Amino acid sequence: MKRHVIVWVGIIIASLILGAITSARIDAAEDDLQLKITSVETPKAHVTSSGGERGAAIARLDNDKYLLGGGKEGFALYLYDTKAKSEKFLGRVANVNQRQDDSRFAITDIGVLSQSGNLVDVVVSFPSYDRKSECVSLVLGSYQIDLDKRVAVKRDGIWFTSKPCVPVRAVQHAAGRIEVIDKSSVYLTLGDLGFTKINSVKARGDLGSVFKVSSSKVEKISSGHRNQQGIALIGSNLYASEHGPRGGDELNLISKGKDYGWPAVTYGEPYSAGDYVKPTSTGSHDGYVKPLKYWVPSVAPTELALLPEGNGWGIWSSQLVMGTLIETSLIFIELKNRRTVGQVLKVDVGERIRDLDISSAGQIVATTDSGKILFIER
pLDDT of residue 170: 55
- List, in sequence order, the alpha helices (H) in 117-253: 201-204
pLDDT of residue 274: 75
Integer Cα distance of 336 and 338 in angstroms: 5
Max CA separation in the chain (angstroms): 57
pLDDT of residue 168: 77
pLDDT of residue 271: 86
Domain ranges of the chain: 1-41+299-378, 45-171, 196-290
Q: Is 273 left (phi over 0), alpha (psi -120 to 50) or beta?
A: alpha
Sign of the dihedral defined by the CA atoms of residues 188, 194, 197, 198, in that order? positive
AA letter at 361: A
pLDDT along the chain (378 residues), means of 10: 43 38 33 80 94 94 96 96 96 94 94 98 97 95 96 96 87 94 98 95 97 98 98 97 96 98 96 86 96 98 96 92 97 95 95 98 98 97
User: Which of 122, 105, 15, 152 has the alpha carbon at shortest distance from 61?
Assistant: 122
Integer Cα distance of 205 and 129 in angstroms: 18
Integer Cα distance of 333 and 319 in angstroms: 6
Integer Cα distance of 33 and 347 in angstroms: 9
Please provide residue 11's backbone torsions phi and psi, each rounded to the nearest 5 degrees: -100, 135
Please state, as a whole number, how many other Cβ atoms lie within 10 Å of the Cβ of residue 100: 19
Strands 364-368 and 372-377 come out as antiparallel
- List, in sequence order, the alpha helices (H) in 139-270: 201-204
Strands 166-167 and 153-161 come out as unpaired
Say what the pTM is: 0.91
pLDDT of residue 9: 42
